Amino acid sequence: MALLNLKAILGVANQHQFAVGAFNAIDSNFIDAVFDAAGETQSPVIINVAEVHLPYIDIYATSDYIRKKAEQAGVPTCLNLDHGLTLPTIKTAIDCGFSSIMFDGSSLTYEQNIEQTREVVELCQKYAISVEGELGAVGGDEGGALESMADTALYTNVDQAVDFVQQTGIDALAVAIGNTHGKYKGEPKLDFERLAQIHQAVSIPLVLHGGSGISAIDFRKTIERGICKINFFTGMSQSALQSIEKDVTNHALSQKYNYYLMMMENVQKAIKQTVAEQMQIFNSINKATYYG
């Protein structure tokens, strides 16, 4: 199946009130696990490749592998540059066949964020590539500490969201409503009222970053209030690490000739289970058939 852009994959989710999970790809174990989960649950899926991870992976080889897996899996798939920060990286992603670009201008001034996001939109429109923008600041950062908290002063402003969408022409908007990257330090307290107001005010799908640590009930509340894409990585990473920690101390397993390969197989199974659980929570199970 050919890759879908973000506008296409989220349009269906918005119409049928479910969210598409956006899961980060850092190696073949993660990629295979996500596609196995998507295939078994018949869920549409977004594969994220984050700019912050590019020092550790080859974007060209990784994108080639993802596109081949998408063809084999036969489920609706979007390949998304996650938290793109620089124009050279965005142009590289375009060259690699990405179908979506998430430009993160949240650290810029409001005016700069509008200007640079609009520039990315104008570039991507030439290639039928969707663009996701971010307004407000999600707690933590993808390359920082594992635990973080949200700052209420940096939550997405409703009136600014309307203006931002109109001025940039983006296809999806990532919002800050108490969500954070990494593990939440303490108990997440999402501003559902603010989210509902943003959903009512703008016409495009909304995105939740920093999905790890949020309860199933709260996830479903966000979906009811317009969230159509949920980024999820830390939970996958923690599942992988827990699997490795368990197998490292398994003396019987360590005596096997294929010890490492068996460890990686268990890592993949752990990630797959975590991803499948999130797809269930996001209500995307068996929604692949909605895409025709």
Two tokens, residue 68:
């081949």
Can you give the CATH number for the domain in which 189 is found? 3.20.20.70
| Total domains, the chain | 1
Q: Is residue 36 part of a domain?
A: yes
Of residues 292 and 117, more confidence is placed in 117
CA–CA distance, 62 with 57 (Å, rounded to integer): 7
CA distance 62 to 65: 5
Task: List residues with catalytic annotation.
Answer: 82
Residue 1 is assigned to a structural domain of this protein: no
Q: What angle do CA 179, 209, 149 make, to 5 degrees?
A: 30
The answer to whether 188 touches 208, Cβ cutoff 8 Å, is no
Q: Give a yes or no: residue 11 inside a domain.
A: yes
Structural domain of 260: 6-291
186 φ, ψ to 5°? 100, -155
**What DSSP designation does 135 have?**
E
Where does the pLDDT of residue 139 fall: very low under 50, low under 70, confident under 90, or very high at 90 and above?
low
Position 199, amino acid: H
Distance CA 104, CA 83 (A): 5
249 Cβ contact partners less than 8 Å away, ≥ 6 residues apart: none
- Residues with Cβ within 8 Å of 227's Cβ and at least 6 positions away in sequence, in order, are 19, 195, 206, 207, 208
**pLDDT tens by residue, 212-258:** 778 999 999 999 999 999 999 999 999 999 999 998 888 888 888 78
Indicate whether 15 belongs to any domain. Answer: yes
pLDDT for the residue numbered 140: 46
Using only C-alpha atoms, the chain has a radius of gyration, in whole angstroms, of 18
pLDDT tens by residue, 74-111: 999 999 999 999 999 999 999 999 999 999 998 899 99
DSSP codes of every residue in 82-127: EEE--HHHHHHHHHTT-SEEEE--TTS-HHHHHHHHHHHHHHHHTT
User: To which residue do tokens 């490292």 refer?
Assistant: 248
Name 232's Cβ contacts closer than 8 Å, sequence gap at least 6.
21, 22, 23, 24, 211, 212, 275, 278
**Residues forming beta bridges with residue 184, ordered by sequence position:** 148
> In this predicted structure, what is the pLDDT of residue 180?
77
> pTM here?
0.92
Q: For residue 237, is it within any domain? A: yes
pLDDT for position 211: 73
**Does residue 227 or residue 138 have the better pLDDT?**
227
* Mean pLDDT, range 20-31, rounded to an integer: 97
Assess contact for 236 and 275: CB atoms under 8 A. yes
Residue 54, pLDDT score: 97
Is 274 part of any domain?
A: yes
Residue 259 falls inside a structural domain: yes
